[in-house]
Chains A and B, each alone.
Chain A
Amino acid sequence: MLFNSLEFLVFFFVVSVGYFLLPHRGRWLHLLLASCYFYMAFIPIYILILGFTIVIDYLAGILIERAQGRRRRAFLIVSLCANIGVLAVFKYLHFLNANLTLLFGALRLRYPIPDLDIILPIGLSFHTFQAMSYTIEVYRGNQKAERNFGLYALYVMFYPQLVAGPIERPQNLLHQLREEHRFDYDRVTDGLKLMMLGFFKKVVVADRLAAIVDAVYNQPVGHSSASLVVATVFFAFQIYADFAGYSDIAIGAAQVLGIRLMVNFRQPYFACNIAEFWQRWHISLSTWFRDYLYIPLGGNRLGPWRRYSNLLVVFLVSGLWHGASWTYVVWGGLNGLFLVLGVWTAGIQEQALNAVGLRAGGRGSILFHRLFTFGLACLAWVFFRARSFHDATWVLTHLFSDPGSFAHPRQLLKPGGLGVPAIDLAGAALGIAALLAIDTVCERRDMLAVVRRQPAWRRWAIYYAFGFATVFLGRFGGAQFIYFQF
């Protein structure tokens, strides 16, 4: 059941109304059943996989809390192995097999392990990471083991964030699931407004951009440099609108029920360097890697070179987390490399900007840094979006190989260009403008608070503008959220 479907709207309405009508003691069960239904709407049988990790981690949590010394560590390792094992089988086995088959073939050997013909369970990487954060936090003593199996299951399965995050921590979510949340007008309406904003980002901005990006990236050979650049920039906004839209819907839907999920995006394309970009992009995953991988690896405590290697490791793993393909690994590696180079050359950058008269912290300097960071992010996105390593390198080597194509923007509308009518191109550009306008407001203030302070007529005009824009300009082609596949 996709968020951008009629089924979800009905589901959300029924679940939310039922939630507030039920007495507090029955609400967790109601949400758990609703979450099971939500998950089973994709591939029902896969709930068994989820059930397997839930049982293992639930027991592991209790056993870790009770045990001492090495046994504690052993239970943690069992839990982590179970979670990573599920990920390995369902997400990485095919990738591993494909690569080992090539390697064995090069050595003239026969690779013996057969491939499994399985579909990746939806959101597997998300709920696996959320489950792992629970056992790690119990191990670290930051979270008490949850005795109520149903509540723990709900922690993993809470439907708004089950398939694409935000990846929550037990300290933030578990207690909220236990607490009673009364109907609060402001909270509920703020949640609904956030959801409406999320729908707008997804169906009006992301899905409109997707049509253009797909036209180019599904068959990049033959497209002009200008088309490749436009498609790459559009993809940067598509994936942002898509994932931030999903996050807004998830956070809003949870907020309606009285549960606050962590913020997942803070205007990432306003970042002035790649380090800052990752503090603003997919925050729940970045902080997960920071807390459970980067810091345990030594973080920045062991000198600069170790810090750089730790950063690279984290980003390579992050790339692999996104998908079992070399393109994702390269995407992660490039981000790590950009980040390391950014940290390494920070002083030189400032000196260079001063030399051309751009004062550090001044508007010109900020604009330059933002554009430069956006450019770097776009370069990395090429690997994220391309269907193969070959396509990605083709796009990168042809981005500026045909400078003449930039002088004739009308060519974008012709064969070899973007292959879409001018009206679609204008709609996509307007969507990006709307997204940036929203982010500009959010960068300075709490947007919902700004809306709340407006006179009633203006507030309602804004609601209707978003509502009608979504209904009339949105694309409801059933496009999945990009991050669902992870």
Chain B
Amino acid sequence: MKRFALKSLLFCFPFAAVFGLPLLILRRSGELVAVNDVIQRQMGSSPVLYGQAYSNPVKAYKLRSVKRRDSAVVALGSSRTMQLREGFFVDPGQFYNAGGAVSAVWDFRNFLGLIGTRSRVKVLLLCLDQWFFNPARPVAWGTGLEEFLADDPALNIIQRNWLSVYRDLVSHKIDFRRLLIDGPRSDVGLNAVLHANGFRNDGSYFYGAAITNPDSPENLDRGFRDTLSRISSGTRRFEWSDVLAQKAIDEVDLLLGDCHDRGITVVGFLPPFAPTVRRAMVESGRYGYMSRIEPALRPSFDRYQFPLFDFTDPATLVATDSEFIDGFHGSERTYARLLLRLASGSPELERHINRTRLVEQLAHAGRFNVEIR
């Protein structure tokens, strides 16, 4: 037995030497916690911030969360949906923010198909990113279904990232001392633990560093520089186009039909850009497709008697640059106002929000965040 133990140690030594430290860091930071376990923890009463740095299973996380929680009101869309919080609603348990689960227009129907027909979703807040309707966006139609279903197992995360962990240690991106010596914490993932970035229990996203220190040089979109460079180069979701992707419009029509058949009320909206960014897009004259989206979608929404709001122009929400986290992500303050507008167009949604309290919360809101009491 002793000989065996010695030889086993000898065999394992090179593996331990290579992977030991990354494994320790990934494990301590919660990077290896399985999505189902995160959901279980977030369904408890104490707050758990979930922000992984080395993997990104957002689609699977949001899908499974919606299935487990079975909330009546669900916000569904890209990262531009993630500022709607359960505290904006009468019964917080009845809302879940599935923002981040959708990266293209066909993801909506995939998502709804996967949550099943037995789901209790009654109101769907549908965030329709403008670039979903841009034919110049380089995305292969219909891809990405597997991301809803796939797990990212621990072994995969270690194999993929062990070298990055060493790199990040050398470049001091990982605070080794804080991670390994400080006591146990409830937050999950390196981003959550070190930078306070991550999904809250209700699925909304808390931007830690970006809102506590928005003028830090580490904030890549300080003064919307990054977004404006995307506009000038026509890249990374800001591809130029004057025409609309009719296929995407048709897809939304199918989605609305599905929702109607399932008895789900849809409240659709095109999310806002920061005023400076919006102005730059208009002045460039290269985003003609954006003004065509709402008129193209309107007949479908009208047919099913679902409301649709176009907040592409931030003036419709009286939003200012200072309350935007970056060029195309409004803050909770922006989205609280947005929710009030959505509710005014949908009696079904109006029943789920406490207008008086929300107005009061807005009155006391900070530059970015709304304090939930």
A residues adjacent to B (C-beta < 8 A):
2, 4-7, 20, 183, 185, 188-189, 460, 463-464, 467, 471-472, 474-478
Distance of A242 from chain B, by nearest CB (Å): 16
The 7 closest A-B pairs by CB, nearest first: A476-B155, A476-B156, A478-B153, A6-B154, A478-B151, A6-B155, A183-B1
Contacts of A476 in B (CB 8 A): 153, 155-156, 158-159
Known contacts A183-B4, A464-B11, A476-B156, then 17 further A-B pairs from the complex at CB < 8 Å, ordered by chain A residue: A4-B155, A6-B154, A6-B158, A7-B154, A183-B1, A185-B3, A463-B11, A464-B14, A471-B15, A471-B159, A476-B155, A476-B158, A476-B159, A477-B152, A478-B150, A478-B151, A478-B152
Contacts of A460 in B (CB 8 A): 11
Q: How far is the CA of A2 from the CA of B152 in the complex (A)?
A: 13
Q: List 22 A-B contacts (CB under 8 A).
A: A2-B153, A5-B153, A5-B155, A6-B32, A6-B154, A20-B1, A183-B4, A185-B4, A189-B4, A189-B7, A460-B11, A464-B14, A471-B15, A471-B19, A472-B159, A476-B153, A476-B155, A476-B156, A476-B158, A478-B150, A478-B151, A478-B152
Distance of B306 from chain A, by nearest CB (Å): 29
Q: Are B152 and A188 in contact (CB under 8 A)?
A: no
Q: Are A477 and B156 in contact (CB under 8 A)?
A: yes
Contacts of B3 in A (CB 8 A): 185
Q: How far is the CA of A4 from the CA of B155 in the complex (A)?
A: 8
Closest to A2 in B: B153
Interface residues on B, range: 10 to 19
Q: Mark B235-272, 1 if CB is under 8 A from A, else 0.
A: 00000000000000000000000000000000000000
Q: Are A188 and B156 in contact (CB under 8 A)?
A: no
Q: Are B159 and A6 in contact (CB under 8 A)?
A: no
Within 8 A of A (CB), among B137-181: 150-156, 158-159
Contacts of A183 in B (CB 8 A): 1, 4
Q: How far is the CA of A475 from the CA of B159 in the complex (A)?
A: 9
Contacts of B15 in A (CB 8 A): 467, 471
- Across chains A and B, the number of contacting residue pairs, with CB separation under 8 Å, is 45
Within 8 A of A (CB), among B1-54: 1, 3-4, 7, 11, 14-15, 19, 32
- Which residue, of A2, A460, A471, has the highest number of chain B Cβ atoms within 10 A? A471
Closest to B142 in A: A219
Q: Are A467 and B11 in contact (CB under 8 A)?
A: yes
Q: How far is the CA of A20 from the CA of B150 in the complex (A)?
A: 37
Q: Are A477 and B1 in contact (CB under 8 A)?
A: no
Contacts of B155 in A (CB 8 A): 4-6, 476
Contacts of A463 in B (CB 8 A): 11
Contacts of A472 in B (CB 8 A): 159
B residues adjacent to A (C-beta < 8 A):
1, 3-4, 7, 11, 14-15, 19, 32, 150-156, 158-159
**Known interface pairs A464-B14, A467-B15. Does A478 touch B4 (Cβ–Cβ under 8 Å)?**
no
Distance of B234 from chain A, by nearest CB (Å): 24
Closest to A219 in B: B142
Contacts of B153 in A (CB 8 A): 2, 5-6, 476-478
Q: Are B159 and A478 in contact (CB under 8 A)?
A: no
Distance of A456 from chain B, by nearest CB (Å): 10
Q: How far is the CA of A463 from the CA of B19 in the complex (A)?
A: 18
Q: How far is the CA of A477 from the CA of B151 in the complex (A)?
A: 7
Describe B's contact surface by its main secondary structure.
Answer: helix
Q: Are B159 and A5 in contact (CB under 8 A)?
A: no
Contacts of B1 in A (CB 8 A): 20, 183
Contacts of A474 in B (CB 8 A): 159
The contact of B154 among A5, A464, A475, by CB within 8 Å, is: A5
Contacts of B32 in A (CB 8 A): 6
Q: Are B11 and A478 in contact (CB under 8 A)?
A: no
Q: How far is the CA of A183 from the CA of B153 in the complex (A)?
A: 32
Q: How far is the CA of A467 from the CA of B19 in the complex (A)?
A: 13
Closest to B3 in A: A185
Distance of B270 from chain A, by nearest CB (Å): 32
Closest to A475 in B: B156
Contacts of A478 in B (CB 8 A): 150-153, 156
Contacts of B7 in A (CB 8 A): 189
Contacts of A6 in B (CB 8 A): 32, 153-155, 158
Q: How far is the CA of A4 from the CA of B159 in the complex (A)?
A: 13
Q: How far is the CA of A4 from the CA of B153 in the complex (A)?
A: 10
Distance of A123 from chain B, by nearest CB (Å): 19
Contacts of A7 in B (CB 8 A): 154
Distance of B31 from chain A, by nearest CB (Å): 12
Closest to A196 in B: B11
Closest to B11 in A: A463
Distance of B84 from chain A, by nearest CB (Å): 31
Distance of A420 from chain B, by nearest CB (Å): 14
- Which residue, of A5, A474, A476, has the highest number of chain B Cβ atoms within 10 A? A476
Distance of B158 from chain A, by nearest CB (Å): 8
Q: How far is the CA of A85 from the CA of B260 in the complex (A)?
A: 40
- Which residue, of A2, A7, A478, has the highest number of chain B Cβ atoms within 10 A? A478
Contacts of B11 in A (CB 8 A): 460, 463-464, 467
Q: How far is the CA of A467 from the CA of B32 in the complex (A)?
A: 22
Q: How far is the CA of A183 from the CA of B19 in the complex (A)?
A: 29
Distance of A291 from chain B, by nearest CB (Å): 38
Distance of A451 from chain B, by nearest CB (Å): 14
Distance of B144 from chain A, by nearest CB (Å): 13
Distance of B331 from chain A, by nearest CB (Å): 36
Contacts of A5 in B (CB 8 A): 153-155
Q: How far is the CA of A472 from the CA of B155 in the complex (A)?
A: 11
Q: How far is the CA of A183 from the CA of B2 in the complex (A)?
A: 11
Closest to A467 in B: B15
Distance of A449 from chain B, by nearest CB (Å): 19
Distance of A189 from chain B, by nearest CB (Å): 7
Distance of A227 from chain B, by nearest CB (Å): 17
Distance of A384 from chain B, by nearest CB (Å): 21
Distance of B141 from chain A, by nearest CB (Å): 12
Contacts of B151 in A (CB 8 A): 478
Closest to A8 in B: B155
Contacts of B154 in A (CB 8 A): 5-7
Distance of A235 from chain B, by nearest CB (Å): 18
Q: How far is the CA of A183 from the CA of B5 in the complex (A)?
A: 12
Closest to A6 in B: B154
Distance of A5 from chain B, by nearest CB (Å): 6
Closest to B160 in A: A476
Q: How far is the CA of A407 from the CA of B152 in the complex (A)?
A: 39
Closest to A7 in B: B154
Distance of A117 from chain B, by nearest CB (Å): 9
**Known interface pairs A6-B154, A476-B153, A478-B151. Does A188 touch B159 (Cβ–Cβ under 8 Å)?**
no
Distance of A377 from chain B, by nearest CB (Å): 28
Distance of B19 from chain A, by nearest CB (Å): 8
Distance of B229 from chain A, by nearest CB (Å): 30
Q: How far is the CA of A89 from the CA of B1 in the complex (A)?
A: 48
Closest to A5 in B: B153
Q: How far is the CA of A20 from the CA of B1 in the complex (A)?
A: 10
Q: How far is the CA of A38 from the CA of B211 in the complex (A)?
A: 45
Closest to B118 in A: A117
**Known interface pairs A4-B155, A478-B150, A478-B152. Does A188 touch B4 (Cβ–Cβ under 8 Å)?**
yes
Q: How far is the CA of A467 from the CA of B15 in the complex (A)?
A: 9
Distance of B322 from chain A, by nearest CB (Å): 43
Q: How far is the CA of A471 from the CA of B151 in the complex (A)?
A: 19
Distance of B201 from chain A, by nearest CB (Å): 25
Closest to B1 in A: A183
Q: How far is the CA of A2 from the CA of B151 in the complex (A)?
A: 12
Distance of A182 from chain B, by nearest CB (Å): 10
